[in-house]
């Protein structure tokens, strides 16, 4: 049998640094007071019409480094947010494997909010990979379809670095603020295409600077499997629930059988085996 070792979640995967894709933008090359989209080959808007009402201007009212003078600024006076709605694609197609890292610096004034989301494919609004809400108190809530999967805190009225890392092979996502780990989670939609930065309510006001992302592609080995998602359905306290487990073939070879071991809260391992050729499984 092919074996995946203990899924707590330490799963077998392989990444290589070949053909890594890196992007960064400090907005210093753009003209201030003018919309971002028409000046950049990379940024666009939700509607796709750079320079329209949903574009954002490059400003000199805030930047996070002494070496620079420019950033982009988001605010809204509408209860439903907008109108600015800026999108940065991470490539020509959604990323579904490999290591993905997104970083940006932000400044959110006292009593103000901020928001962004990750889109899962090129059709805006079709798939939300995650929503990140930053409220007026400094609390951060990362959500999937309205369900909170990660939380954190951020500085108020000062620049801070926000970083999201995603190992798309093992579906392991993390949020860091100023290099400090805030949360780790698995995403229901384990793919990413673009970031959408949108001032989501009337209290929204924030600056964004030094945006970057890095993609380390995944190279398929001959044999490699990974536990991709472990989920437990909702229930009442004290009830027993069977876990739902997704095992993903990340290699080029066919996997006919595997053993799986799951440990919960440091307890005794629960062992599982599956044989594809005989369509049977056992605990």
Range(s) for CATH 2.60.120.560 in the chain?
A: 21-216
pLDDT band at 268 (very low <50, low <70, confident <90, very high): confident
- Tell me what the mean pLDDT of segment 91-117 comes to: 97
- Tell me what the mean pLDDT of segment 63-90 comes to: 94
Contact 230, 262 (CB under 8 A): yes
Question: Would you say residue 258 has pLDDT above 70?
Answer: no
Contact 58, 207 (CB under 8 A): no
**Tokens 């201007």 label which residue?**
57
Q: Is 267 exposed, middle or buried (0-12, 13-18, 19+ CB in 10 A)?
A: exposed
Contact 138, 247 (CB under 8 A): no
pTM, 2 dp: 0.74
**What are the angstrom distances between the C-alpha of 114 and each of 133, 140, 196, 238, 274?**
6, 9, 12, 38, 46
Tally the C-alpha atoms within 13 A of residue 2's C-alpha that lie toward its C-beta: 19
Which residue(s) pair with 268 in the sheet?
Answer: none
Q: Which fold has domain 21-216?
A: Jelly Rolls (2.60.120)
The residue among 195, 196, 205 whose CA lies nearest residue 54 is 196
In sequence order, which ranges of 133-217 are alpha helices (DSSP H)? none
- Tell me what the mean pLDDT of segment 165-185 comes to: 97
Question: Would you say residue 6 has pLDDT above 50?
Answer: no
């Amino acid at each position: 049998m092919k074996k995946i070792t203990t899924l707590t979640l330490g799963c077998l995967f392989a990444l290589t640094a070949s053909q890594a894709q890196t992007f960064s933008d400090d907005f210093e090359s753009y003209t201030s007071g003018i919309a971002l989209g028409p000046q950049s080959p990379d940024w666009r808007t939700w509607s796709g019409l750079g320079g329209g009402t949903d574009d954002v201007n490059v400003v000199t009212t805030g930047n996070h480094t002494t070496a620079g003078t420019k950033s982009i600024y988001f605010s809204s006076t509408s209860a439903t947010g907008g109108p600015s709605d800026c999108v940065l694609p991470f490539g020509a197609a959604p990323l579904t494997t490999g290591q993905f890292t997104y970083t940006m610096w932000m400044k959110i004034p006292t009593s103000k909010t901020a928001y962004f989301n990750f889109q899962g494919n090129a059709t805006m609004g079709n798939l939300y990979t995650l929503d990140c809400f930053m409220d007026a108190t400094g609390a951060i809530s990362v959500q999937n379809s309205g369900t909170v999967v990660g939380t954190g805190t951020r500085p108020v009225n000062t620049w801070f670095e926000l970083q999201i890392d995603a190992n798309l092979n093992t579906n392991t996502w993390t949020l860091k603020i100023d290099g400090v780990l805030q949360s780790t989670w698995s995403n229901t939609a384990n793919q990413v295409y673009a970031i959408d930065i949108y001032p989501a309510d009337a209290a929204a006001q924030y600056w964004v600077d030094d945006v970057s992302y890095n993609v380390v592609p995944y190279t398929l080995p001959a044999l490699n499997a990974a536990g991709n998602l472990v989920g437990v359905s909702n229930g009442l306290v004290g009830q027993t629930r069977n876990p739902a487990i997704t095992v993903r073939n990340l290699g080029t070879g066919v996997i006919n059988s595997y053993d799986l071991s799951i440990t919960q809260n440091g307890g005794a391992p629960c062992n599982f085996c599956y044989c594809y050729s005989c369509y049977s499984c056992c605990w």
